[in-house]
Amino acid sequence: MSDDLLQSDDPARDPAQLAAELARKKYPADLVEALNGLAQDEAAAVLAHLPFDRIIEIFDEPELNDPAGLIRALPEQQAKVLLSGLSADRATDIFQQLPEPVRSRLLNLLDPETKASIESLLKYPPNTAGSLMTTEFVSVPSNWTVEQTLQHIRMVERTRETVYAIYVLDPQKRTLLQVVTLRRLITGEPQASILSVARSPITTTPLADREDVARIISKYDLLAVPVVDEKGRVLGIVTVDDIIDAIVEEGTEDVQKFGGMAAVDEPYMQIGFGQMLYKRAGWLSVLFVSEMLTASAMQYFQSEIEKAVVLTLFIPLIMSSGGNSGSQATSLLIRALALRELRLGDWWRVVLRELPAGITLGAVLGVIGIIRIALWQNLGFFDYGDHWQLVAATVAAALIGIVTFGSLSGSMLPFVLKRFGFDPANASAPFVATLVDVTGLVIYFTVALVFLRGTLL
Amino acid sequence: MSDDLLQSDDPARDPAQLAAELARKKYPADLVEALNGLAQDEAAAVLAHLPFDRIIEIFDEPELNDPAGLIRALPEQQAKVLLSGLSADRATDIFQQLPEPVRSRLLNLLDPETKASIESLLKYPPNTAGSLMTTEFVSVPSNWTVEQTLQHIRMVERTRETVYAIYVLDPQKRTLLQVVTLRRLITGEPQASILSVARSPITTTPLADREDVARIISKYDLLAVPVVDEKGRVLGIVTVDDIIDAIVEEGTEDVQKFGGMAAVDEPYMQIGFGQMLYKRAGWLSVLFVSEMLTASAMQYFQSEIEKAVVLTLFIPLIMSSGGNSGSQATSLLIRALALRELRLGDWWRVVLRELPAGITLGAVLGVIGIIRIALWQNLGFFDYGDHWQLVAATVAAALIGIVTFGSLSGSMLPFVLKRFGFDPANASAPFVATLVDVTGLVIYFTVALVFLRGTLL
């Protein structure tokens, strides 16, 4: 019912009333979902009527649409208190989205400690461990006892993103020595040293890619991984919930790139129309210009085409089969490389699989093609001419060649991209199809010249 | 160095020596990685030399290759103790992979409690909350105090998959009332009721899809979500580390399906060659047979092709542009639907965006096409005939029509699939290309008939 209220287009909605409706929602995530359904000025008006601790909860949710825009709609004093109340990693995310004069002005309003912490996080490139991490973690010196640590956690619990991993530091050098999980901590003897329940930590570095951080967290089933500098000091931690968001985003990027476009971060309906066109037109034009080579290939074989127009009938069919088999092989290999199932040096093992696979798949399609031509010819649906058997043989042989070439080049493309330092996920289906189309035409007409010389050609 | 030893093909390797090397690895995940590099019989021989608690750690890792095969290589008595020692959800995974006579024989060896728990988990369909959940969670009656609960956790900690979420049950009906996180629990007054630190739980049902469970865990930043039956009793919990594995697997499936093949669970090099052919040949043949409609379309326009062979030169170029724009639109919409950014009823908003987007993108390509033809004609690279301007205009107009049709059908296909109860991720790039190719040919020749009637046609 409250959702209906929020969805309605009644212009006379009162922000205070909406806020009262929203305040009844128990979980911040549900509140955010409702706010995302409102226009920005309306959402800002509603926010002004919510209690302050709820506003902080709302801004701590990464799902909130355009938090930077909402912050700018708030009075500056309120924006300052809000940004100080957020977790450091979340505040940094929002600062990153603020345009420049506003960003510096708001940063300067913050207390020196918060400002320094956000400024240090802002300097890490996006999608690195440094940009994902938060500085609100629990650390204790290694000469503390189990009981001292527990007391400390009880005090700081509210201000820490997670207390399930506690980092044990060298009392002098402040370097990371060990890690304790809260579940092991509570089973420890109160007077024993914290080291009695600790074990050696798995760490990452601030410039590690988020995919690598995700792999560590998932491989070792961690709830958080500490980010350490070259001296062994903990800069922050990346928590499992941030990593889940990162994994989902990577999945979206992989699908979008595979679809042949630049990756988009925003939800579909929120991408600006101009930006969407830009992200699509770029690749589309590059592919179009590359695909123009097919016109050149066709021009090269123009005399063959004029002599045997029957050959043109099968061009779309044959070319699409090459693209399809290539796209299958690419999708298999992109993920195998992304999940580190295969290394760069394994390319030859893949060739040894894709070569027989391509020949077999091409032969399957070739047989279907021969049956189709023979049926249409003998049932009188269409007349492929006196030499229809030779035409059918040409089509089948070309299919074997093209599907094999498609499978091989589709599977090798991710390796080639990786070899030259690109993300293998850039090997999109349209990219592979374009690569295979030109060669496919050349294979088709070459096979035709061999099979049909002296008859049609 | 130890990795080199494991990778070498020296046939004289001693399993005991290998086991000693492996036992030095600190983390089970690293041990599993090394074992996965060995042949199955060798891995089984090495396992026989490892301490029993390490073997349990190894089998608890979902990354271990073919655990069912390894279990079968163990003496039956050892297999029994191992399966009893594993977490219930992991043991169930392994039982699922065991072929029938072995499965029942091993199940009957287990103690009645473990057997009942595994049998109840085995009955849930794969990829549901029920199949992912574990029964090793912590629950306490609602009349306990904070201190009683902490004492209980200290006792059962070792045998529970997570103790970070504690489920508070009605003392009589055993239904789920509240949930307490360990971090809140340790901040509670020892003598206070457990309910003083509890809050109402977010739950799921045993038949919920793993994608929905992932969405709940990620939306509410949970470490575990309880699975409850219709009476409100907790059947088990799904933990965040199981969900990460599920999200990564979903991402792989989405890319593979988008690449136009049936999803494969195993790593690339471990898929049987026959199985891989089968998974690829199916879709490839379906697409090939559908794409045969292009041959029919070409046959229909045969007299036009014979009169104006110059038109055939641009067929691959024009068709591929339709397929590429469709593939872009599909990749955008598949993820938008998967992440619930859009609902089924939003299809018309998408049409309102894709229609102008398609026309604009088509016009961009049309202009590039006209420039290409004009350049080649005027620089003398190729002669498109006296009516080359009309040919160029035909190509440009056809591109606008085809790219618009590609964007529209590519964006609507995921909606149509969802409407009829299929996973929108089945809308693969090759599927879209095939859909667009036939219509693309018809659009092209129809435009040609309009533009070239009286001149070339």
Q: Are residues A185 and A115 in the same domain?
A: no
By percentage, how much of chain A surpasses pLDDT 90? 34
Residue A395: name the closest of A369, A363, A361, A359 by CA: A369
Q: Are residues A112 and A216 in the same domain?
A: no
User: Beta strand A165-169 with A138-141: parallel, antiparallel or unpaired?
Assistant: parallel
Asked whether residue A263 is domain-assigned, the answer is no
User: Nearest-5° angle of CA A3, CA B335, CA A260?
Assistant: 145
Residue of chain B whose Cα is closest to the Cα of A337? B268
Q: Is the pLDDT of residue A202 over 80?
A: yes
Residue of chain B whose Cα is closest to the Cα of A280? B328
pLDDT tens for B36-54 read 888 888 888 888 888 888 8
CATH of the domain at A281: 1.10.357.20
- Overall average pLDDT of the B222-230 stretch: 93
Q: Are residues A285 and A352 in the same domain?
A: yes
Of A334, A342, A382, nearest to B299 by CB-CB distance is A382
Among A239, A259, A282, the domain boundary falls at A239
Q: How confident is the model at residue B1 (pLDDT cuts 50, 70, 90)?
A: very low
Q: How confident is the model at residue B361 (pLDDT cuts 50, 70, 90)?
A: very high
Asked whether residue B258 is domain-assigned, the answer is no
Asked whether residue A457 is domain-assigned, the answer is no
The pLDDT mean for chain A works out to 86
Answer whether B241 sits within 8 Å of A256, measured CB to CB.
no
- DSSP codes joined into one string, A267-318: -GGGS-HHHHHHHHHHHHHHHHHHHHHHHHHHHHTHHHHHH-GGGGGGHHHH
By percentage, how much of chain B surpasses pLDDT 90? 34
Q: Which residues of B180-191 are buried (b: 16+ CB within 10 A; e: fewer)?
A: bbbbbbbbbeee
Q: Which of residues 302-321 of B touch A (CB under 8 A)?
A: 302, 305-306, 309, 312-317, 319-321
CATH of the domain at A164: 3.10.580.10
Rg (CA), chain A: 30
Asked whether residue B250 is domain-assigned, the answer is no
Q: Are residues B154 and B107 in the same domain?
A: no
Of B150 and A6, which is predicted with more confidence? Answer: B150
Nearest CA-CA distance, residue B105 and chain A, Å: 32
Strand partners for A140: A168
Q: Are residues B328 and B438 in the same domain?
A: yes
Of A281 and A7, which is predicted with more confidence? Answer: A281
The predicted structure's pLDDT at residue A405 = 95
Q: What global pTM score does this model have?
A: 0.73
- Overall average pLDDT of the A169-175 stretch: 92
pLDDT tens for B125-178 read 888 999 889 888 999 999 999 999 999 999 888 888 888 999 999 999 999 999
Asked whether residue B389 is domain-assigned, the answer is yes
Side-chain-side CA neighbours of B225 within 13 Å: the count stands at: 26
Nearest CA-CA distance, residue B125 and chain A, Å: 24
Q: Which of A335, A360, A436 to mutate to test the interface with B (most CBs of B within 10 A)?
A: A335
CA distances from A14 to A19, A20, A324, B121, B320 (A): 9, 10, 55, 50, 52
Amino acid at A272: G
| Separation between Cα atoms, residue B62 and residue B314, nearest integer Å | 51
Answer whether B255 sits within 8 Å of A63, measured CB to CB.
no
CATH of the domain at B37: 1.25.60.10
The answer to whether A65 and A36 are in contact (CB under 8 A) is yes
Answer whether A248 sits within 8 Å of B365, measured CB to CB.
no
Q: Are residues B420 and B305 in the same domain?
A: yes
Asked whether residue A275 is domain-assigned, the answer is yes
Owning domain of residue A175 = 138-239
CA distances from A56 to A131, A244, B294 (A): 21, 22, 58
Answer whether B321 sits within 8 Å of A284, measured CB to CB.
yes
Q: Are residues B95 and B199 in the same domain?
A: no
Query: In this complex, is the C-beta atom of A102 within 8 Å of any C-beta atom belonging to chain B?
Result: no
Q: Are residues B176 and B303 in the same domain?
A: no
Q: Which of residues 377-436 of A touch B (CB under 8 A)?
A: 382, 403, 428-430, 433-434
Q: Are residues A108 and A147 in the same domain?
A: no
Q: Are residues A104 and A179 in the same domain?
A: no
| Separation between Cα atoms, residue A316 and residue A353, nearest integer Å | 27
The three-class DSSP label of residue A239 is strand
Amino acid at A332: L
Q: How confident is the model at residue A1 (pLDDT cuts 50, 70, 90)?
A: very low
Q: Which of residues 12-41 of B touch A (CB under 8 A)?
A: 26-27, 29
| Separation between Cα atoms, residue A121 and residue A206, nearest integer Å | 10
Asked whether residue A413 is domain-assigned, the answer is yes
Strand partners for B180: B166
Q: Which residues of chain A make contact with B365, given a CB cutoff of 8 A?
A: 284-285, 288
Query: In this complex, is the C-beta atom of A330 within 8 Å of any C-beta atom belonging to chain B?
Result: yes
The number of distinct structural domains making up chain A is 3
| Separation between Cα atoms, residue B162 and residue A270, nearest integer Å | 38
Q: Are residues B291 and B235 in the same domain?
A: no
Backbone angles phi, psi at A51, to 5 degrees: -65, 150
Q: For chains A and B, what is the number of CB pairs under 8 angstroms? A: 353
Of A281, A288, A313, nearest to B299 by CB-CB distance is A313
Q: Is the pLDDT of residue B10 over 60?
A: no
Q: Are residues A418 and A286 in the same domain?
A: yes
pLDDT tens for A19-37 read 777 777 778 888 888 888 8
Asked whether residue B249 is domain-assigned, the answer is no
Among A200, A223, A239, the domain boundary falls at A239
Q: Which residues of chain B make contact with A324, given a CB cutoff of 8 A?
A: 260, 283-284, 287-288, 430, 433
